[in-house]
Structure 1
Amino acid sequence: MLSACAVALRAGARRSVRRLPSRARALPLTAGAAQRQAHRSFSASPAASQTTDLSTRGMIVQTLSSVGSKREVQQYLSLFTSTPSQRFAVIKVGGAILTDYIDELCSSLAFLYTVGLYPVIVHGAGPQLNGLLEQAGIEPQFEEGIRITDAKTLRVARDLFLKENLNLVNKLEEKGVHAQPLTTGMFRAEYLNKDKWGYVGKVTGVNKQSIETAISNGYLPILTSMAETDDGQILNVNADVAAAELARALEPLKVVYLSEKGGLFDAAGQKISAINLDEEYEQLMSQAWVKYGTRLKIKEIKELLDTLPRTTSVAIIHPGELQKELFTDSGAGTLVRRGNKLLSADSLSDFKDIDALKAVLVRDREGPDAKATVDKYIEFLAENPFKAYYDGPLNALAIVLPPSNGRQATLATLTITKSGWLTNVADNIFTTLQKEHPQLVWTVKEDDENLAWFFDKADGSITRNGDVMFWYGIENGDEIIKLMKDFTEHGRAMLGDSNLESRLQRAAAGNANNAARPAVQQQARGYSTLARRPILSTPLFGQAKGRGYITQTNPNPPYGKKNASMDRPARVALIGARGYTGQELIRLLDSHPNMELHHVSSRELAGQKLEGYNKKEVIYENLSPEDVRDMEKRGEIDCWVMALPNGVCKPFVDAVYEGRKLSSHKSLIVDLSADYRFDNTWTYGLPELVKRSNIAQSSQIANPGCYATAAQLGIAPLVEHLGGMPHIFGVSGYSGAGTKPSPKNDVENLTGNIIPYSLTGHVHEREISSQLGADVAFIPHVAVWFRGIHHTISIPLNKSMNSRDIRQIYQDRYAGEKLVKVIGEAPLVKNIAGKHGVEIGGFSVDKSGKRVVVCATIDNLLKGAATQCLQNMNLALGYAEYEGIPVM
């Protein structure tokens, strides 16, 4: 069963929408020496590239091993290269990608070209067009989200599209990729509505022949989203629309939308890994947070997939993670596919065809006793309670035996066909299992090539004599110890009913292994995540040695975890120590028992002694990016803290990356600016709202903004109850304006005054919205006090609620959070200044019960910056989260 599936697995069939992945890291794949060698070995034509000599293919697999396992890479290469080239993928590239991420895009496309894959590219240029029109004194006009295109706009658009197309083609050629610009005659169209939108087209046909010819000649086809009428009139077409029509014509395996955000995000700001439309669409669209652009995108994708083969999927992905999306089981963005609806049964009579059920069970077995074993298994199911989960065609089947004799529920059968993997049924079944069975135990052979998938689904595991037992939902330490003890003493037999075991053994005496565990052997898995394995925190587990009790830890542990077990403290370098936040962090590190400042960098203060740090004498330096690179190369620093203004730290971050390439040492980076808060290769470090395990596993953390932290904590508990856009009136003390003199930190100017600024479009507005998955309006102000922020947040509700219930929601949500305090009255700035947490209160509801006003306060220099930075450092370096932090 498994071996048949393994060859045909599709990229991206992954977790359900409920399973949220850790943030993926950017892929440093370039057209380097390996690519150039691969190009020399590949023929220019796709057909020839698919018969590449084994040494070159092995080199490619090795190169991709930094993205996923060898097994994953080989499977996806086999699948993709066995598909007609024009049916591999359609990739839509937005204008912002061409401006801001063209190098990442070209590197990704170059690698696909290297391995003989020829995606069809169609691009837009919306942001560039807006800029050119504004320069020409033309205000862009939109109606129902569609650009109104008059003759002048069309002329500007046509010239721009040709320019952007040529630029992309030239960039690809520089990387050794043969690319062919296809800028005219590719889309046939008629006017969408000339009176309403002017020269805007509705696509009526696609010129597939030109695309196929380009690919057969060894060129990547690069299309613009411009169309022509039958009489030759050029029309403007939205790039998303053009990509959809292109997909309908070519019916590719993948439709890829490249996105700066790298995917769709849920109400908690977590990236959605996968959406199975047949199973989840109605429920998903009923969620309060699915609105505006997210709602429209999901609806448009469903309409597209409904017209395409069921094996086609849509991926929304960052351009730098295209390889991870295509060549690994876990993927990197948001995958959307149709899938299949699930059915369930708790008796054999629920199955329409018992012979079909037997055939499904037999297909996982080998040997002459397979049929007899299954017959006895069916007899057992007829006499004992069970719950089965399956899809209509029986491409996937899971059977769970309920708890008995003090044992947890057991997953006794899991069998998936090739088609089942391709339509994502496996993950949907497991999501259902998690909902209906709070605790579950199962076993898998240790050499199962798909072991990683089970690690991803489990909370813990133990290996014995070639078998791995997994479990989830068991939190009581005594229960876990008993489970592990039974397994080590009795093996797999303890997992199933002893009567079942004996019956199956009698039925197939020579097949005892299958008998003990009817189906969870050699499970087919076309997608998995082995980036991280569950960590058992109970000391007994971590101390145990040998194959009996093992701790499944991260094979690449968090970078600083090594330091947590060392005698020496973690070595910290602070870049940009002159600002208020840097000074607060220095004071915190001065009392931290496990961290030491080794370097502080400030151009203005270079050569002076660092004040406020008493562990040892530290002199300010003016570190250059080259200095940082060399220090990283030598392994001198465990954590770099970038305390620089927005837009300044990239050279230093890049220097750390360069140093990593030249050394086995990899330090942690925490950036306090806004530069990487929208980069999904960085972990957003708000521990109260982001999974702490994600932060603990990260090597690069974007510290949230001060305004954004308080606003998110103030809104997050009500996201699922939102009835409209929250409005945030925020006022900060002037320390938030930095140390550089300006009207916003001029005390004389602020006295008796309050200054509004960035009334729309503030970076924190975007940050809050993207993390919560709900649009907010944010109006920042600065006042005369020095430190502290106050938010007054007006939140529309989708149902009537009272103040007491809302307060209870907040208390439940933040129970156990040491740095969040929920109070009754509205909090005051003077009470939060100098404290390390957030206070939330107010909870005043209007007469309708459908609008609540919540207030939140935060010290912008502490929990808004330095304290939160230390939380993140503690987690990622392996220390207790609040070590060195005076809790509230």
Structure 2
Amino acid sequence: MAFSTQAARVAARLVRRPLYNRIRTTFTNAIRPATVSTQLTFQRRSYTSPATLKNNTLETRNTVVQLLSNIGSKREVEQYLSHFTSVQSQQFAVIKVGGAIITEKLPALASALAFLNHVGLYPVVVHGAGPQLNKMLEAAGVEPEYEGGIRITNAKTLAVARQCFLDENLKLVEALEGLGVRARPIHSGVFTADYLDKDKYKFVGKIANVDKRPIEAAISAGCLPILTSLAETPSGQTLNVNADIAAGELARSLQPLKIVYLSEKGGLFNGETNEKISSINLDEEYEELSKQWWFRYGTRLKVNEIKDLLEDLPRTSSVAIIATEDLQRELFTDTGAGTLIRRGNKLTAKSSISEFEDIPKLTAALQKDQAFASTDSPQAAVEQFLQKLESSSFKAYADEPMDALAIVHPPAREGEPAFLSKFVVTKHGWLSNVADNVFSTIKREFPKLAWIANTSDEYLTWFFDKADGSVMQGQNVIFWYGFDGGLEEAAAWLKSQRLNTAKQPVEPVVSSPVTGVKQQVRGFSSLTRPRILGRGYHPRQQTRGYATESEAPLPGNTNPNPPLRRSTSSEFRPKKVALVGARGYTGQALISLINKHPYLSLSHVSSRELAGTRLQGYDKADIHYSNLNVEEIQKMQENGEVDAWIMALPNGVCRPFVDAIVAGGGAKEPGSSIIVDLSADYRFDDTWTYGLPELIKRETIAQATRISNPGCYATAAQLAIAPMIDNIDGPPTVFGVSGYSGAGTKPSPKNDVNNLKDNLVAYSLTDHIHEREISRQLGVDVGFMPHVAVWFQGIHHTVNIPLKKQMTSREIRNLFQDRYAGEKLVKVVGEAPSVKKISGKHGVEIGAFAVHSSGKRVVVCATIDNLLKGAATQCLQNMNLSLGYDEFEGIPLD
């Protein structure tokens, strides 16, 4: 089937889209005031009248639309712009900006907001300042106090907080004005609040009223309103309010089309597949979503907070959780960039005309189809179509307002595809993504589908995104997915259906219309489709301390008495962690990590040697070491005082403590408190889950209550050998060298610096417990020879692996890269990694891949920090999974 000239132009146009980053760079250069050489420049705006500002906006709007068209189609850009400008300016969007975004992403944030302003849009920005406040309080010598995750804000703290908010507000305003965008700082007058609990929290507010007038005045003057989350009582007393709560109450007052939470993660993630959730249709998906094993704690809180907010807004409103740099792509393209959450409408499926309760509504929806609309009598054409439809087998999918209607004919014979004969979507259906939801429903029910679209269809790019392949025939494109035989199978099917009427052979169309890569599909979130958990990419949100009224990640506020319509369920309080055996290096590393974790708090820290002394390096609460015995531990468990127990004790010591926890009712079944044991006591016990997330199914760890943390040597060795398992011919040997922190704090020749100076100490050269651990987990015999060197922390492994067949270094390196693709804590490098580079880091580096001249033996090197990924970091990964949090929450990544 040959291309027609017009079709060829369509295909060519569809694949000539520049990369998003290139256009962002172009725009950033275009609006930078100092830039004079770039072809597209924007005049710096002077402080003149609103009319002059309006003219400036009109002058640049067309240019910016052209630039935006490079991140999507011009149709998408114009459609969304029209949608956003259809309401009053203050109702376009409320954007919540965390303090960390201002610190780390200020240029990108200012550029993104300038982008919106240059096309005549006025987002209302409200920001926090959590990390900055923490630093200022530390510098001022103010000891933080928390109650239930909320900072107790006394007069001195409030004074520092007020100055901090003013400083950060000014930074953002100045950055915007440096790009020629007028911005108005609004520090007061918008939020009126009552005391949350004056006796308990001091100057922390609960918003009671929102005054829109300062915002409306700023926009009328041509300025972006930039708000702090400070509030005042009716008498004028300043109060501290959480920025997420302020943004929510602002949205309830303004009723915007969009509420945007800028996030380091760039969205929410499926806890089973680690994939970013493109969208959540609450009416259609929430019930099933709430049944998922991973939908707990932080994720449940975020979604429930948003669900609560959207129920107070028009059904046209939606919430987007996105990265700063993806703001334009989220707002102006169908595919989006982050996670879009909306109420949506439930979908229905019908298999006969009589099942439709409102035939006139069905007829009206079908009349919008191009095939009927172009006839002399669309109504008569639709009626004739419905008569024929009644005598055939079909399934019709639609939402309640019928913004999207699809009619699918099941396959006549097994192995053939279903056929999508009608797909009619209103403008609102595209803008609210109902089309994606309907199509995703079809895809779940019909694994093989074909359909036809005209080359003039303005949504042709959307169909390309949904298809596995396509062919051009005259003015039509025939799409399909699920054809295992690809083009050959499609051609045979087309011939059998008499759809391929042309005599020419079928020729494929380039399957990606925009970038040459399949685009993200914004349909159902795939939350309810179980998949075996693999090694998916799982971005993390930057860890930040609690600020103001708990500036936890959106909208993870842990306030037990939050203002207005907030959930008060104890399920969302910070999880209480007891650390037994905290004196050692690993215990100290865990204390540091938990101190920065937004959803965990230490309740007990036990150490026989340090009992009675104050815990250092932890500022969420004033904690002193205790010396817990088994009776006390059992009683604590019976009283529900602890959600997670960490055993950081020497080998052979922790069994009585574990027995006490179990006797107290913990670690028995999913949902009860959990135990993570860092010793070797349970690594050979099949009733415990071995917690190495990169090699063990994360679903298994997430559903476990008793988790045995792997050894440091064993973690690095397994990761260095696992990708080669199918190619091994004989036992691998591991030559391991550790820093002396691995020998613990109890004095011995292995941690005596004088003994280690100019020396290398070998020990337990056969039958080491890690040798048995590695061999048991990998299912192959492994030889392990440990040594201690004079550096403090970090391990180096040199691993010799005999091969079944000749292999090249490149082939082996590819195996490792494929095996660990997307793993945030495993880095595959070319050269042999060094201990110096891994010390203090939370991951593993694997490299060298030196192949013997025979091609039958490879040497792989691996490095790991024995205190972090070898112990504390891995413990936190396992706890996060088991408690239902993001696996990497609280883990600082490079």
Q: For residues 354 and 432 of structure 1, what CA distance do their matches in structure 2 show?
A: 23
Which residue of structure 2 aligns with residue 144 of structure 1? 148
SS of the aligned residue for 2:411 comes to coil
The answer to whether 1:433 aligns with 2:413 is no
SS of the aligned residue for 1:162 comes to helix
Post-superposition shift, 1:717? 4.7
Which residue of structure 2 aligns with residue 384 of structure 1? 392
| Equivalent residue runs for 1:199-598 within 5 Å | 199-267=203-271, 268-364=273-369, 365-404=373-412, 407-477=416-486, 480-487=487-494, 492=499, 548-553=507-512, 556-557=515-516
Letter of the structure 2 residue corresponding to residue 716 of structure 1 = K
Task: Assess, with a 3 A threshold, how the Cα gap between structure 1 residues 828 and 226 changes in structure 2: closer, same or farther.
Answer: farther
Post-superposition shift, 1:885? 12
Which residue of structure 2 aligns with residue 79 of structure 1? 83
Which ranges of structure 1 fall in alignment gaps of 5 or more residues? 1-21, 496-544, 560-708, 737-744, 757-781, 795-819, 839-855, 871-882
The answer to whether 1:731 aligns with 2:712 is yes
| Equivalent residue runs for 1:764-843 within 5 Å | 825=779, 830=784, 834=799
SS of the aligned residue for 2:828 comes to helix
Letter of the structure 1 residue corresponding to residue 166 of structure 2 = L
Which residue of structure 2 aligns with residue 640 of structure 1? none
Are the equivalent residues in 2 in contact too, given 1:398–1:413 (CA < 8 A)? yes
Post-superposition shift, 1:322? 1.2
Task: Assess, with a 3 A threshold, how the Cα gap between structure 1 residues 128 and 459 changes in structure 2: closer, same or farther.
Answer: same
Which residue of structure 1 aligns with residue 729 of structure 2? none
Letter of the structure 1 residue corresponding to residue 327 of structure 2 = L
Which deviates more, 378-387 or 402-411? 402-411
SS of the aligned residue for 1:61 comes to helix
Post-superposition shift, 1:116? 1.6
The answer to whether 1:119 aligns with 2:129 is no
Instruction: Identify which of 171, 176, 179 aligns with 1:175.
Output: 179
Task: Assess, with a 3 A threshold, how the Cα gap between structure 1 residues 245 and 311 changes in structure 2: closer, same or farther.
Answer: same
Which deviates more, 79-88 or 443-452? 79-88
How far does the alpha carbon of each residue in 1:293-351 deviate from its partner, in whole angstroms, 9 at most, with x for none?
22211111111111011111111111112111122221111111111111111122211
Task: Assess, with a 3 A threshold, how the Cα gap between structure 1 residues 164 and 822 changes in structure 2: closer, same or farther.
Answer: same
Instruction: Identify which of 753, 760, 766 aligns with 2:743.
Output: 753
Post-superposition shift, 1:825? 4.9
The answer to whether 1:866 aligns with 2:847 is no
Post-superposition shift, 1:163? 1.1
Task: Assess, with a 3 A threshold, how the Cα gap between structure 1 residues 291 and 333 changes in structure 2: closer, same or farther.
Answer: same
Which residue of structure 1 aligns with residue 697 of structure 2? 716
Task: Assess, with a 3 A threshold, how the Cα gap between structure 1 residues 489 and 725 changes in structure 2: closer, same or farther.
Answer: same
Are the equivalent residues in 1 in contact too, given 2:53–2:222 (CA < 8 A)? no
SS of the aligned residue for 1:101 comes to helix
Are the equivalent residues in 1 in contact too, given 2:169–2:185 (CA < 8 A)? yes
Q: For residues 738 and 859 of structure 2, what CA distance do their matches in structure 1 show?
A: 35
SS of the aligned residue for 1:335 comes to strand
Post-superposition shift, 1:134? 2.7
Q: For residues 363 and 491 of structure 1, what CA distance do their matches in structure 2 show?
A: 27
Are the equivalent residues in 2 in contact too, given 1:734–1:784 (CA < 8 A)? no
- Aligned-CA RMSD value: 4.5
Post-superposition shift, 1:48? 7.0
Task: Assess, with a 3 A threshold, how the Cα gap between structure 1 residues 558 and 329 changes in structure 2: closer, same or farther.
Answer: closer
Post-superposition shift, 1:482? 3.8
Q: For residues 114 and 783 of structure 1, what CA distance do their matches in structure 2 show?
A: 67
Are the equivalent residues in 1 in contact too, given 2:467–2:511 (CA < 8 A)? no
Q: For residues 467 and 105 of structure 2, what CA distance do their matches in structure 1 show?
A: 36
SS of the aligned residue for 1:713 comes to coil
Which deviates more, 260-269 or 723-732? 723-732
Q: TM-score, normalised by structure 1?
A: 0.58
How far does the alpha carbon of each residue in 1:185-233 deviate from its partner, in whole angstroms, 9 at most, with x for none?
2200001111222211111111201100011101111111100001111
Q: TM-score, normalised by structure 2?
A: 0.57
Aligned residues: 575
Letter of the structure 1 residue corresponding to residue 417 of structure 2 = Q
Are the equivalent residues in 1 in contact too, given 2:461–2:514 (CA < 8 A)? no
Q: For residues 116 and 546 of structure 1, what CA distance do their matches in structure 2 show?
A: 50
Which residue of structure 2 aligns with residue 129 of structure 1? 133
Letter of the structure 2 residue corresponding to residue 866 of structure 1 = V
Q: For residues 418 and 443 of structure 2, what CA distance do their matches in structure 1 show?
A: 11
Post-superposition shift, 1:131? 2.0
Task: Assess, with a 3 A threshold, how the Cα gap between structure 1 residues 836 and 127 changes in structure 2: closer, same or farther.
Answer: farther
Q: Percent identity?
A: 47
Are the equivalent residues in 2 in contact too, given 1:34–1:63 (CA < 8 A)? no
Are the equivalent residues in 1 in contact too, given 2:398–2:404 (CA < 8 A)? yes
Are the equivalent residues in 2 in contact too, given 1:836–1:867 (CA < 8 A)? no
Q: For residues 396 and 86 of structure 2, what CA distance do their matches in structure 1 show?
A: 35
Q: For residues 367 and 47 of structure 2, what CA distance do their matches in structure 1 show?
A: 44
Q: For residues 802 and 226 of structure 2, what CA distance do their matches in structure 1 show?
A: 52
Q: For residues 707 and 176 of structure 2, what CA distance do their matches in structure 1 show?
A: 44
Task: Assess, with a 3 A threshold, how the Cα gap between structure 1 residues 206 and 341 changes in structure 2: closer, same or farther.
Answer: same
Q: For residues 291 and 387 of structure 2, what CA distance do their matches in structure 1 show?
A: 42
Are the equivalent residues in 1 in contact too, given 2:112–2:325 (CA < 8 A)? yes
Are the equivalent residues in 1 in contact too, given 2:464–2:512 (CA < 8 A)? no
Letter of the structure 1 residue corresponding to residue 159 of structure 2 = R
Are the equivalent residues in 2 in contact too, given 1:42–1:114 (CA < 8 A)? no
Letter of the structure 2 residue corresponding to residue 320 of structure 1 = E
Instruction: Identify which of 24, 28, 33 aligns with 2:25.
Output: 28
Letter of the structure 2 residue corresponding to residue 718 of structure 1 = E
Are the equivalent residues in 1 in contact too, given 2:268–2:276 (CA < 8 A)? yes
Q: For residues 463 and 130 of structure 1, what CA distance do their matches in structure 2 show?
A: 60
Which residue of structure 2 aligns with residue 104 of structure 1? 108
Are the equivalent residues in 1 in contact too, given 2:20–2:70 (CA < 8 A)? no
Task: Assess, with a 3 A threshold, how the Cα gap between structure 1 residues 219 and 54 changes in structure 2: closer, same or farther.
Answer: closer
Q: For residues 304 and 276 of structure 1, what CA distance do their matches in structure 2 show?
A: 14
Letter of the structure 1 residue corresponding to residue 453 of structure 2 = V
Are the equivalent residues in 2 in contact too, given 1:836–1:863 (CA < 8 A)? no
Are the equivalent residues in 1 in contact too, given 2:97–2:261 (CA < 8 A)? yes
Letter of the structure 2 residue corresponding to residue 215 of structure 1 = I
Which one has the largest radius of gyration?
2
Letter of the structure 2 residue corresponding to residue 865 of structure 1 = V
Are the equivalent residues in 2 in contact too, given 1:182–1:223 (CA < 8 A)? yes
Task: Assess, with a 3 A threshold, how the Cα gap between structure 1 residues 173 and 284 changes in structure 2: closer, same or farther.
Answer: same
Task: Assess, with a 3 A threshold, how the Cα gap between structure 1 residues 748 and 557 changes in structure 2: closer, same or farther.
Answer: closer
Task: Assess, with a 3 A threshold, how the Cα gap between structure 1 residues 144 and 283 changes in structure 2: closer, same or farther.
Answer: farther
Are the equivalent residues in 2 in contact too, given 1:255–1:315 (CA < 8 A)? yes
Post-superposition shift, 1:107? 1.1
Post-superposition shift, 1:465? 0.9
Task: Assess, with a 3 A threshold, how the Cα gap between structure 1 residues 50 and 487 changes in structure 2: closer, same or farther.
Answer: farther
Are the equivalent residues in 2 in contact too, given 1:345–1:389 (CA < 8 A)? yes
Task: Assess, with a 3 A threshold, how the Cα gap between structure 1 residues 180 and 32 changes in structure 2: closer, same or farther.
Answer: same
Which ranges of structure 2 fall in alignment gaps of 5 or more residues? 1-18, 34-40, 519-689, 718-734, 747-760, 786-796, 804-818, 834-854, 861-894
Which residue of structure 2 aligns with residue 639 of structure 1? none
Letter of the structure 2 residue corresponding to residue 239 of structure 1 = A
